[in-house]
């Protein structure tokens, strides 16, 4: 699969996962959007981490999400903060409230659209970016 | 801790455009600022025995051996970044009150060479002072190109506009009023008037923030000296008493702008509400008692959110409050009378402490009449954010 238009160079998709985040990235590799849910009290935590912030329990179920969501807030990055991004700007960075995981916002690009078409409240759906042989990053696009 | 300590000396190097302080070293500039602050106080550098920093701190060992400090009895740093600017002085006060040290320096020294620019904080893996190691948490931001503080705060500003109808005209008023204050100060980097037309003609950097919503990037150093109130009375300048201080924040504010999962209730805020509550309560004063507010201004919308969080305007009404001219000199609450990070110089907030002291001494360039209480803040940032309330001696 070719990468979605306007995505960042592969070098920015080099990851440093730990034992708690690795399952998220393994699922992403399989094009499944997941979020960890506390097995004790049912609270979602994000990014994935070692403790529930409500009950301090450790174990989680990885819940598969529908892959849709709503833009909670966003910015349009128009300035290349490093030279490698000169060909990428402008791009949209959003905090997306993902459906099926109350309280979880994922930071992601909204791609394949005019940046000015994005607003708070926009409905979006996931689009998988196989950025390298090892790493897949979830991007989003405006829901049709 | 109320009124038990005071700031008795302030000192700075000149403020430079980023990269232009070479061939001085950052430590050389730190030492110059410390010596200037000692001179301002009427103390010898041999009296210094403590160091209280923020934003990573500095090498006390090197400073002490260079300056010939007889003994170091306290050296500590708040965690986090620029959020601890005012908090470093609170830390100094805590060191004095607890008896660990008697003459404590807080300082910032900054040199933004091309490999050490704060604006690209999360983008660089090159070995610069501000490059960040890859972490499992950053994996949820960096692949989306969320690197720069400006992009992050833009997302809070966008949410504030959505919730409350805050307008870019309000951001412009923060930039313009701050510039008006800077124009009169000889220390300022930016001394040309800024008009509303110029503001709206400027390029967008990260929506909704344009060029003039951003702090500048500078080099320079600024130091302040904290000692006991008792000893402060006999020194060269009138003391600026430390009435209260605080640093920290709500736990789920957390890493704030780099994780974006803060509770919705205070997402579009400066993260300062718990600190505001604490510093007012410890001081026994209210927002009405504050005569000048030195609010950390890396990005214009965050000044507006701090005005709300510190009770100068109701939550959500900071925009109209600012547009009404209330933060200008002579307004309800003059803000950043020195020209702030935005227009005087960005020494990561330590210039705000300096200005508070000058206001309380009655020696400020843009003097607020009968200035008795000054509020100084550090951050908005991840935990900690911080504040001080100072009183005229």
Domains of chain B and any CATH numbers: 5-112+214-392 (3.40.47.10), 118-147 (no CATH)
Tens-place pLDDT, residues A30-72: 999 999 999 999 999 999 999 999 999 999 999 999 999 999 9
Question: Which pLDDT score is estimated for B113?
Answer: 79
The string of pLDDT tens digits covering residues B94-144 is 999 999 999 999 999 999 877 666 665 555 544 433 345 579 999 999 999
In a domain, A107, yes or no: yes
pLDDT tens digits along B240-249: 999 999 999 9
Full residue range of the structural domain in which residue A30 is found: 10-142
Kindly state the average pLDDT of the residues B334-340: 98
Chain A residues touching B206 at Cβ < 8 A:
75-79
The answer to whether residue A4 sits within a structural domain is no
Query: b/e for B150-182, b at 16 or more Cβ within 10 A?
Result: bbbbbbbbbbbbeebebebebbbbbbbbbbbbb
Neighbours of B273 (CB within 10 A): 22
pLDDT of residue B116: 67
Residue A113 lies in a domain: yes
As a whole number, mean pLDDT of residues B288-315 equals 98
Is the Cα torsion angle B29, B129, B350, B323 positive or negative in sign?
Answer: positive
In this prediction, residue B203 carries a pLDDT of 98
Please identify every residue of B annotated as catalytic: 296, 346
Q: Residue B128: what pLDDT?
A: 38
What is the average pLDDT score of chain B?
A: 95
pLDDT digits (tens, 9 = 90+) for B357-377: 999 999 999 999 999 999 999
Consecutive H or E run containing A24: helix A22-29
Given a cut of 70, whether residue B296 has pLDDT beyond it is yes
Distance CA A34, CA B186 (A): 56
pLDDT of residue B388: 98
- pLDDT, residue B115, reads 65
Which residues, including other chains, have CB under 8 Å from residue A108's CB and lie 6 or more apart? A93, A94, A96, A138, A139, A140, B144
Average pLDDT of span B145-164: 96
Residue A52 lies in a domain: yes
Nearest beta carbon to residue A76 from set B146, B156, B206: B206
Q: Are A140 and A111 in contact (CB under 8 A)?
A: yes
Nearest chain B Cα distance for residue A144, angstroms: 22
Handedness of CA B151, B311, B252, B77 (dihedral sign): positive
In a domain, residue A76? The reply is yes
pLDDT tens by residue, B197-224: 999 999 999 999 999 999 999 999 999 9
What is the count of structural domains for chain A?
1
Considering only residues 305 to 334 of chain B, which have any Cβ-Cβ distance to chain A shorter than 8 Å?
A: none
**A3 belongs to a structural domain:** no
Q: Which among B353, B356, B350, B382 is positioned nearest to B371, based on CA atoms?
A: B356
Each residue's pLDDT tens digit, A13-29: 889 999 999 999 999 99
Establish if A127 touches chain B: CB-CB under 8 angstroms.
no
The reported pLDDT for the residue numbered B147 is 87
Average pLDDT over residues B177-188: 97
Whether the CB of A15 is below 8 Å from some CB of chain B: the reply is yes
Q: Is residue A5 part of a domain?
A: no
Inside any domain, residue A91: yes
Q: How close B41 comes to chain A (CA, Å)?
A: 42
A12 close contact with B: CB closer than 8 A: yes
pLDDT score recorded for residue B65: 98
> Which of these, B168, B146, B166, lies nearest to B155 by C-alpha position?
B146
């Amino acid at each position: 699969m070719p990468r979605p238009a306007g995505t960042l160079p592969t070098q920015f998709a080099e990851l440093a996962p730990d034992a708690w985040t690795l399952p998220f990235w393994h699922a992403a590799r399989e094009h499944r959007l997941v979020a960890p849910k506390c097995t004790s009290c049912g609270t979602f935590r994000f990014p994935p981490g070692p403790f529930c912030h409500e009950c301090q329990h450790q174990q989680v179920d990885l819940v598969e999400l529908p892959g849709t969501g709503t833009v909670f807030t966003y910015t349009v990055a128009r300035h290349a903060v490093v030279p490698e991004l000169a060909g990428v700007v402008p791009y949209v960075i959003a905090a997306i409230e993902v459906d099926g995981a109350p309280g979880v916002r994922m930071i992601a690009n909204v791609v394949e659209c005019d940046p000015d078409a994005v607003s708070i409240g926009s409905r979006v759906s996931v689009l998988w970016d196989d950025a390298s042989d090892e790493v897949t990053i979830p991007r989003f696009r405006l829901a049709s | 801790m109320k009124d038990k300590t005071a700031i008795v000396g302030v000192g700075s190097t000149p403020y430079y455009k980023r990269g232009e302080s070479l061939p001085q070293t950052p430590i050389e500039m730190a030492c110059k600022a410390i010596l200037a602050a000692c001179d301002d106080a009427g103390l010898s550098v041999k009296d210094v025995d403590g160091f209280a920093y923020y934003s990573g701190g500095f090498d006390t060992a090197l400073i002490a051996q260079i300056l010939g400090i007889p003994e170091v009895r306290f050296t500590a740093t708040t965690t986090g970044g620029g959020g601890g600017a005012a908090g470093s002085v609170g830390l100094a006060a805590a060191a004095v009150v607890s008896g660990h040290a008697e003459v404590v320096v807080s300082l910032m020294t900054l040199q933004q060479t091309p490999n050490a620019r704060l604006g690209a904080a999360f983008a660089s893996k090159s070995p610069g002072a501000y490059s960040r190691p890859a972490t499992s948490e950053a994996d949820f931001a960096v692949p989306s190109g969320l690197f720069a503080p400006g992009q992050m705060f833009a997302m809070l500003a966008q949410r504030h506009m959505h919730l409350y109808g805050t307008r870019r005209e309000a951001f412009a008023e923060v930039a313009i009023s701050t510039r008006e204050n800077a124009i009169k100060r000889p220390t300022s980097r930016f001394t040309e008037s800024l008009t509303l037309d110029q503001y709206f003609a400027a390029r967008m950097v990260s929506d909704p923030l344009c060029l003039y919503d951003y702090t500048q990037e500078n080099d320079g150093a600024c130091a302040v000296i904290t000692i006991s109130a008792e000893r402060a009375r006999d020194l060269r300048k009138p003391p600026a008493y430390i009435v209260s201080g605080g640093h920290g924040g709500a736990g789920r504010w957390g890493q704030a702008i780099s994780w974006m999962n803060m509770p919705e209730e205070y997402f579009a805020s400066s993260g300062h509400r718990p600190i505001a509550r604490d510093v007012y309560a410890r001081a026994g004063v209210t927002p009405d008692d504050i005569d000048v507010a030195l609010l950390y201004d890396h990005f214009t919308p965050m000044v507006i959110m701090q005005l709300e969080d510190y009770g100068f305007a109701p939550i959500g009404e900071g925009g109209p409050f600012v547009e009404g001219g209330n933060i200008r000199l002579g307004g309800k609450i003059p803000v950043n009378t020195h020209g702030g990070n935005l227009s005087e110089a960005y020494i990561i907030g330590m210039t705000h402490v300096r200005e508070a002291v000058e206001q309380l001494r009655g020696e400020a360039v843009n003097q607020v009449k009968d200035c008795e209480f000054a509020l100084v803040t550090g951050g908005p940032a991840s935990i900690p954010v911080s504040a001080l309330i100072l009183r005229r001696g």
